[in-house]
Structures are given as structure tokens and as C-alpha cells.
Amino acid sequence: MDPIESALRGENPTVIRRMTSGFAVFGDTQFLPGYCLLLSESPTAEHLSDLPAPMRRTFLSDMALLGEAVERACTRIDPAFRRINLEILGNTYPRVHAHIWPRYTWEPPDLLPVP
């Protein structure tokens, strides 16, 4: 199941909310509590540069808004919350998406310096 296509059809159960540029979703695997992604609404864009400039700016703005929302939620839930990391990758899923990683002080020391 393609997560963007299923979100566009209203069939993706991980969708938290529709955003201007796409969909805020819970990560399928909660590597860290609160891990979320922003999926671009474009089912064909494989690179951030594939999005027209206005859509690209909106995607980046939505990424920051989602990061802020996750930060607020994690701060309230876990006093060991430390920060939010934002990443745009494409190594295993080629469509434009961003990872929102909450980070905590209770993580194993060898993982603290790792993205």
C-alpha cells in the first residue's frame, strides 16, 4: 500500500491530519514515541525540487508546523523530551516526505549523537 495514494483516497489509518501540502501521519513503527512523518500530497514527486517553488515552501512550512506540534505534545508527555530532529530523506521510499523525530535524554548514550 502506497501511503500517499491511500491518504489521498482517505484510506490511510495513520493520518493524523490533512495539512496544506500533504498529510501528517504517525510513523508505522514508533522507533521513538511521537515519531511522525509529513507526506507530500504529490504522488509522483521524488525530490523536493520536483515540487513547484510555492508548493515546496508550503511543504517546508508544514514540516516546521508538524515538528512544533510534536515538540509540544512530547514536552507535555515526557519530561525527558530533548529536541525535535527534522529530516527529508528518500533512500527507501522515493516520494517526497519528511521525518519528525522526537529525541529524549533516556535514549542509549550511543544513539544520542546519531540522527
Written as one string, the DSSP assignment of 48-87 is GGGS-HHHHHHHHHHHHHHHHHHHHHHHHH-TTEEEEEEE
User: 112 falls in which pLDDT band (50, 70, 90)?
Assistant: confident
CA–CA dist 16, 83 (Å, integer): 21
Please, are residues 2 and 11 in contact by the beta-carbon 8 Å criterion? no
Residue type, 79: P
Q: pTM for the complete prediction?
A: 0.93
Mean pLDDT of the chain: 94
- Residue ranges covered by each domain of the chain: 3-104
Q: Which CATH number fits domain 3-104: 3.30.420.40, 2.40.30.20, 3.30.428.10, 3.90.1180.10?
A: 3.30.428.10
pLDDT for res 111: 84
pLDDT for 113 equals 81
Locus of grid cell 515552501 = 57
The percent of residues above 70 in pLDDT, for the chain, comes to: 100
Contact call for residues 74 and 34 (beta carbons, < 8 A): yes
Pairing of strands 15-18, 22-26: antiparallel
